[in-house]
Amino acid sequence: MRFLPALAGLTLALGFGAALAQEVAFPGLRTDPDAQVEVTADSLSVHQADGSAVFTGNVLIVQGPMRLKAEKVEVEYGADRSRIAKLHASGGVTLVSGKDAAEAREAVYEVAAGAVELTGDVLLTQGPNVLSGQHMTIDLKTGTGRMDGRVRTILQPGETP
């Protein structure tokens, strides 16, 4: 019965144009927030005073099956500075895991909470299905999320998100 949510979304998209908000399942966008985080970039600036770091140029962050690419990523460490608390990505952000991929202008990843917030021209593709809006939050532990801001859904017949 996974077709019913897709049919409801399609009916909404066809009957009423773009929605204002839509709950979404992101089965591919899941990861273990306790898994190792690997960051590669063209350069790194470390700020000892406030416990932050800035990676710039072709930044790639890998955690389990999830990959985040951006032009710049600011890293905030926790109070003891031994673990990453938040990642602020900007400049052509792409988040990929499995068959799911999301693009946005900016993203904030709260590592311990396993939450990602994407803002600015958000585009999600799940196989042939496409969802767009201005703001998307994803719970990486459960693989669920919400898209807001003139949401537009394009579902291919016979496909499920």
pLDDT digits (tens, 9 = 90+) for 90-116: 999 999 988 888 999 999 999 888 899
Task: Check residues 138 and 18 and name the one with the higher pLDDT.
Answer: 138
Helix (H) or strand (E) holding 45: strand 43-47
Distance CA 160, CA 28 (A): 13
- Dihedral angle over CA of 100, 90, 107, 98, nearest 10: 20
Does position 68 have pLDDT exceeding 80, yes or no? yes
Mean pLDDT of 45-72: 91
Q: Domains plus CATH for the chain? A: 3-154 (2.60.450.10)
Confidence (pLDDT) at 6: 38
Residue whose entry in the numeric block shows the structure tokens 């537009």:
152
Confidence (pLDDT) at 7: 32
Does position 119 have pLDDT exceeding 70, yes or no? yes
Q: Are 66 and 96 in contact (CB under 8 A)?
A: yes
Distance CA 150, CA 10 (A): 15
**What does pLDDT average to over the chain?**
80
- Both structure tokens of 140: 């990486």
pLDDT digits (tens, 9 = 90+) for 31-40: 666 788 899 9
Residue whose entry in the numeric block shows the structure tokens 């990453």:
84
Distance CA 75, CA 69 (A): 14
Does residue 12 come out as left (phi exceeding 0), alpha (psi in the -120 to 50 range) or beta? alpha
Does position 11 have pLDDT exceeding 50, yes or no? no
Confidence (pLDDT) at 34: 74
Does position 42 have pLDDT exceeding 50, yes or no? yes
